[in-house]
Every structure is written in C-alpha cells, then in structure tokens.
Amino acid sequence: MPINVPIDMPIDVPIAMSPSHLSNRPRILFLGKEILYNPSIYKRLLSQFEIVQPSLQDLQREPFMQHLREGTWGDFQAIMRPSWHSGNEMERWDSETIELLPRGLKVFASAGAGYDWVDTACLAKHGILYCNGAGASTEAVGDMALHHIISVFRNMSQSASAARSLCPEAFLAAHHSLPATSYNPRNHTLGIVGLGQIGFVVAQKAYMACGMKILYHDIVRKPLEQEQSVKATYFENVEDMLRLTDCLVLATPSTFSGRPFLTADVIALLPRGARFVNIARGSLVDEDALANALEDGHLAAAALDVHADEPRVCERFARMGNVLLTCHTGGGVVETRVGFERLAMENVERVLLGLEPLTPVNRHLMREDNVGNGHGESDTVNGHSNGHGDTYGEEVNGSST
C-alpha cells in the first residue's frame, strides 16, 4: 500500500539512555542514527520499552563485539536498525557476532529488504527472529526494473551516452544505427527468477505497461489467481524457463555465502540475443561470465542496478555501450526510507508485545516453540531453506535507499 510522506512532523524525543537509568521494561538496542520520518512511532516505543542507542563509533566491528562481551548494554530483548544508511558499521552479522548476543534476544528488525549481510539461519538457530523491510521498496524497485527492461530492448544506454557526448557525429550515428537493433518489449518473454512481492510487481508492470509474456521460476508456485492476473507461466525447472526467455530478470535474494546464480552455464541456456536485468543482488552474478557473454554477442544487452563488489563497478561493464549501469538506487526513494523505518520499529514492538511480526524472514527455520523466545534450536521446513535462511521469491534490493 502506498505510504504518504511525510508521515510525522519532527518532535523532540530522547534517543539514548544509559543502562544505569533503565527500568525492568523490555530493552531495545537501537542501531544507527536518529529517527527521521516516524517520530510518533518512536515516541510510542519510548512509552513502552527502554531504548539504548550506542554511538556510531561503538558500532564498529571490534568495539561492538567487545561491548557485547562485556555486557555494556545489558540483556536487551530486541535489536532495531531503522535506517539502511547507518547501524551496520560492524558489517557482516556472522556466527562470531551472533554468538555474543544475549540469550534473551527475541527479534532483530532491520531496514532493507535484502539480508545477505546477516546469517539468518544462525539467528534462527539461536531462537532469534529476523524481520526485514519487505514491501517498503517494492514499488520503487519495480519501477527501476521496468526502466531497465525497456532500456535493454531500446538501447537506451547507447542513446544517452551519444547525446551526452555533445558530439554531433555520435548523435547522428546513434540516431541512424540504434533502431536496427532496438525492439519493443511487447510480445517478448520476460523470465523472472523469484516471484515474491517485487518479482510480482515487476511482472505486473511489464505485462500491463509493455504487453510482455511472463514466465517465472520460484521455489513455491504462486496461486492460480495470481498467475492469471498477469498470464504468467510457471516453470518448476528453471532451465526450461531460461531456454524460452528473451529477457531475464533476477528478483531473488542472495545467500549469505554469496553463491552466484548467473554463471556461464546458466547464460548458455538463454537464447542467443537475450537480455539480462539485475535488480536483486550483485553477488548473484558471475560478472566475468556475463561480460564474456556480452562481448561475444550471446547476450545483446544488460542493465545492472546492483554489483558484485559495491561500491566498485566492473570496469569491463563500464566500457560497454550495451550495458546500463546504475548505483543500487532501485529502492532509492523517500517512500522506501519511510517504510523501512516504520517496519523496523513496528516489528520490534509487535514481537515484544507478543503479537505476530509483520515481515518475518527466518521463521521457517525456527521451531514453533522457539519463535521469539530467544536462543534455541531450529529446523528447516519442507526443504524451503537453502542453508542460509533465504528462499526464492523474498524481497530484494533493500540496500538501495
């Protein structure tokens, strides 16, 4: 549902407390900078819980872990990270970090839809529920995906570069030559890996705006009514889908291990002249394999909003006219920031009050008697875990705001 902004007018609220002044109310460890968009929700949290907000210097990996060892912030029951741009100065949340968390910790709620930076399976093993910002960036990432899809069919990257060159010869060359290799997306097949919230919005936009034929692969087939709304065809075997795909879009999470999906073998299954769009995670792509396929003509074009070694972009792609590159801004709109902030706070609030979380990620890895009960054991369910708490079709691209 669209979020109207601004949601709140700024108010003066305390943003940090010393453990020596805390009561016996449930305690939240607040990671990151102050609340910007939803101060009334934050004020509500302050009325119910104790909130401890470490300095950004204390969030660097070594100081942060030392504070956990020493119990500086006490036995907090929740971790809240409302902004994607701060609060993760310690970088990857691996077993080394997670093992130091209090045994009574119930929930870790963070901004961002992607979660390849946190070992959600390890959190589940310790009985800690992880909640992301699913849904907050869906519309924005869907719009970016549509822009990228149109771009790879219409050679937008080359056209824009020629115009910006201020060179009349380059302008005329693009004007005369690009139409020979440009196509309307209409009636072409769009193969989507991962039909979660974002993947489905991409399908809706491509189907309704461009008249594309929707193919998809996901670990779980979607309801028939949902498929029929975009006339989507489901492929249990992703290889079968790839062989019929004119433009491939990745809309699936990366794993904590960073295992790529798009490899040379996968690319070889696509028809010659196919196009590729990534609005998910850069780690899903073997960039050398993709560059090779673009250079030898097996792939006609690519559009990448995410990159394997951000903030560094592959130099081979930067030299290619048929590759559109953007700076992981798929979800980069104010509405996304508002939603991320709100969801992080509301997820923490709901779990601490014994209510259902809004956007749980790793619940399928946890035993029911341990959900939200702190450290405990966990199990995978129906094979839907890939060993890192990630499944096809979850939200993606969360770090773009």
Q: What is the mean pLDDT of each run of 10 residues along the chain (401 residues)?
A: 42 41 81 96 97 94 95 96 86 92 96 88 96 94 98 97 97 97 98 96 98 97 97 98 98 78 97 97 96 98 96 96 97 96 98 96 76 43 29 38 32
Do 67 and 40 meet the contact criterion of CB atoms below 8 Å apart?
no
**Cβ-Cβ contacts under 8 Å for 245 (sequence gap 6 or more):** 189, 190, 191, 215, 270, 271, 274
Position 273 scores a pLDDT of 98
Do 252 and 261 meet the contact criterion of CB atoms below 8 Å apart?
yes
Position 257 scores a pLDDT of 63
CA distance 344 to 38: 11
CA distance 67 to 97: 11
Q: For residue range 15-60, what is the model confidence (pLDDT) as tens digits?
A: 444 444 446 899 999 999 999 999 999 999 999 999 999 999 999 9
CA distance 33 to 53: 9
Position 92 scores a pLDDT of 86
**How many other C-beta atoms can be found within 10 angstroms of the C-beta atom of residue 104?**
15
Q: For residue range 66-118, what is the model confidence (pLDDT) as tens digits?
A: 999 999 999 999 999 999 888 888 788 999 999 999 999 999 999 998 888 89
CA distance 249 to 285: 12
Position 391 scores a pLDDT of 37
CA distance 109 to 305: 25
CA distance 362 to 351: 14
Global confidence as pTM: 0.82
CA distance 372 to 385: 19
Of 268, 269, 155, 142, nearest to 195 by C-alpha is: 142
Position 116 scores a pLDDT of 83
Q: Can you give the three-state secondary structure of the chain, one letter per residue?
A: CCCCCCCCCCCCCCCCCCHHHCCCCCEEEECCCCCCCCHHHHHHHHHHCEEECCCCHHHCHHHHHHHHHHCCCCCCCEEEECCCCCCCCCCCECHHHHCCCCCCCCEEEECCCCCCCECHHHHHHCCCEEECCCCCCHHHHHHHHHHHHHHHHHCHHHHHHHHHCCCHHHHHHHHHHHHHHCCCCCCCEEEEECCCHHHHHHHHHHHHHHCCEEEEECCCCCCHHHHHHCCCEECCCHHHHHCCCCEEEECCCCCCCCCCCECHHHHHHCCCCEEEEECCCHHHECHHHHHHHHHCCCEEEEEECCCCECCECCHHHHCCCCEEECCCCCCCCHHHHHHHHHHHHHHHHHHHCCCCCCCECCHHHECHHHCCCCCCCECCCCCCCCCCCCCCCCCCCHHHC
Of 269, 313, 257, 326, nearest to 293 by C-alpha is: 269
**How many other C-beta atoms can be found within 10 angstroms of the C-beta atom of residue 300?**
21
CA distance 267 to 280: 17
**How many other C-beta atoms can be found within 10 angstroms of the C-beta atom of residue 11?**
10
Position 14 scores a pLDDT of 40
In one-letter notation, the amino acid at residue 39 is: P
Of 142, 238, 232, nearest to 189 by C-alpha is: 232
Residue 191 β-bridge partners = 215, 248
